[in-house]
Amino acid sequence: MKGGQCEGENSIQNLIDYAMFATFSSRHLVGIWYLFAVSLVGLDQATKYAIQVLMPFHASIEVTPFFNLVHVLNPGAAFSFLADAGGWQRYLFVGLGTAVSAFLAFALWRGVRSRIEMAAYIGIMGGALGNVIDRLRIGAVVDYLDFYWQGWHWPAFNLADIFVVGGAALLVLASVMERAEQRPVQLVEIKRRQNIEEKNKGAKS
């Protein structure tokens, strides 16, 4: 049993090491990564279109005791941030979403060396552009996922928001894993310097 568990842990570690540190550059297949991002935009827009066609505005369908499908418009950012501003936020978020997507597309073209980081960029691009299209098309974002507990409702959100938040989470994961991988190397370097200092002290004495 222990042998099987060790093999499973080693397999997971090998997969993580491959995803993070195996020789890789996103530039080699950058067109494919752009296509993935466009596919996420298409999936997001298709779900929003279905909600708009099949559900009246402000309609709510109970799916479970903690989740409703709804049809609402959010002029703010993810999870209704700045939804009550005076309208200027539409142009702010269009500009931000476009600029962030352009920067990430350029980063993929230059070459990202972590597969996890690449997946994060694709998710953020797909989500950001999906919401940008909404703001350009109708001036607000279509939200339809409503999670709640008793009388408390989390602000409604959509698939594009999930892509953005998921991409951000992957960026954090990539950063943590990279630091964890670098720490043993740093410890070895510190030990090496200590040994050199001890040898120099011994030579002087």
Alpha-carbon distance 117 to 111, whole Å? 11
Q: pLDDT tens, 13-60?
A: 555 555 555 566 777 888 999 999 999 999 999 999 999 999 999 999
Answer whether residue 11 is part of any domain: no
Answer whether residue 181 is part of any domain: yes
Answer whether residue 4 is part of any domain: no
Answer whether residue 109 is part of any domain: yes
pTM, entire model:
0.75
Answer whether residue 14 is part of any domain: no
Range(s) of the domain holding residue 67: 21-197
Answer whether residue 202 is part of any domain: no
Answer whether residue 12 is part of any domain: no
* Across 1-5, 6-10, 65-69, 119-123, least confident range: 1-5
Catalytic residues: 143, 161
Q: In what order do the strands lie in the sheet with 60-64?
A: 60-64, 67-74, 141-149, 152-153
Q: pLDDT tens, 49-84?
A: 999 999 999 999 999 999 999 999 988 766 566 656
Amino acid 88: pLDDT: 74
Alpha-carbon distance 93 to 136, whole Å? 10
Domain total in the chain: 1
Q: pLDDT tens, 127-148?
A: 999 999 999 999 899 999 999 9
Answer whether residue 65 is part of any domain: yes
Instruction: State the pLDDT confidence band at 172, using cuts at 50, 70 and 90.
Output: very high
pLDDT, average across residues 161-172:
95
